[in-house]
Amino acid sequence: MLAQLYWHSHPHLLSSKKTNAWVLASDLTKMMATQFDCQYCTTSLLGKKYVLKDDNPYCVSCYDRIFSNYCEKCKDPIESDSKDLCYKGRHWHEGCFKCSKCNYSLVEKPFAAKDERLLCTECYSNECSSKCFHCKRTIMPGSRKMEFKGNYWHETCFVCEHCRQPIGTKPLISKESGNYCVPCFEKEFAQYCNFCKKVITSGGITFRDQLWHRECFLCSGCRKELCEEEFMSRDDYPFCLDCYTHLYAKRCAACTKPITGLRGAKFICFQDRQWHSECFNCGKCSTSLIP
């Protein structure tokens, strides 16, 4: 992510807390007691440079030794007469605050962090940024990108293949030829359910060269779904086995049960009557009459 650069300055370099210029203790002698010593080493500060910390005076060497932060790059202390640049609790000299790859200064410039390294936006883009699936150019840090099926697009490149309008977060349908907004897909490619007349976006059942949604392919008798069932047809209408048997199946002249002919079952026709093959027997001795 792009970072905002914060300055960590030393606001108490003066008795006046609004500047970073040095003052001499002799300028304040009228305001001080006769003894004016460093809070740490007790060296007299009269006539010398000093720094105030929590309203306590310190000589410059003690202040730098006790309170200075250490530069992330050169590891030297950032002394009271230097600017202290801070990012996420880490500190740099102004001259050390540079891109870790191209070594250009990052002072007052946008930058990004990667594995604790600071990078200018150009180096970060070349090293870390995603490439747009459409235009193959880098997707710059901070810019909006779209992700779909493991690929990335600039927001302006993620468009409908037909109307060329940005898809954004709207519903889409993907084909080998590209991504389509729903209205364009329906106009160009959609097939319609023979029952409800609505678009079939995926799956579906084909029967007699016509298409149905799976949930619309129903028995014409009892209206139960047939997508996972065996079924029969009559006059191009599908029926579950129970309804077809009840409505249309012929009856065996011997056992009176319906003859469905399912799974290749054989039956016998004789003088306009029908028998199951296992029921076509001699009426006196029950011997099968099938040769």
Who contacts 230 (Cβ-Cβ below 8 Å, separation ≥6)? 241, 262
Supply the pLDDT for residue 264.
Answer: 55
Question: What is the rounded distance in angstroms from the CA atom of residue 202 to the CA atom of residue 61?
Answer: 76
Residue 267, H or E segment: strand 267-270
Q: Show pLDDT as tens, one digit a residue, over the chain (291 residues).
A: 233 333 334 444 433 333 333 444 444 444 444 468 888 898 888 878 888 888 888 888 888 888 888 898 999 888 878 888 988 889 999 899 999 889 999 988 888 888 888 888 888 777 777 788 889 888 876 778 888 888 888 999 999 999 999 988 888 888 887 899 988 888 888 788 988 988 887 778 888 888 889 888 889 889 888 887 788 878 888 888 888 877 877 788 778 777 776 655 667 777 778 777 778 788 778 777 777
Residue 121 has a pLDDT of 81
210 CB-contact burial (10 Å; exposed 0-12 / middle 13-18 / buried 19+): middle
How many Å from the N-terminal Cα to the C-terminal Cα in the chain?
Answer: 87
Q: Give the separation between CA 48 and CA 58, rounded to whole angstroms.
A: 10
For position 10, what pLDDT does the model report? 42
- Cα–Cα dist 139/132, whole Å: 6
Number of H helices, E strands in the chain: 4, 21
The domains located in the chain, with CATH, are: 6-97 (2.10.110), 145-188 (2.10.110.10), 191-246 (2.10.110.10)
Neighbours of 272 (CB within 10 A): 6
pTM: predicted TM-score of the whole model, two decimal places: 0.38
- Residues with Cβ within 8 Å of 45's Cβ and at least 6 positions away in sequence, in order, are 25, 36, 37, 38, 57, 59
- What phi, psi does 66 have (nearest 5°)? -90, -40
Integer Cα distance of 232 and 173 in angstroms = 34
Residue 234 φ then ψ, to 5°: -145, 120
DSSP 3-state assignment of 271?
coil
Residue 261: what pLDDT? 63
Torsion over CA: 178, 179, 183, 185 (sign) = positive
Q: Which of 5, 44, 56, 49 is nearest to 25 (CA)?
A: 49
Burial-class residue 177 by CB neighbours within 10 Å (0-12, 13-18, 19+): exposed
CA distances from 216 to 205, 243, 245, 257 (A): 9, 17, 22, 31
Pairing of strands 117-120, 145-148: unpaired
For residue 205, list its beta bridge partners: 212
Rounded to 5°, angle at Cα 113 from 109 and 119: 55
- Do 37 and 43 form a contact (C-beta atoms < 8 A)? yes
| Alpha carbon 213 to its chain's center | 30
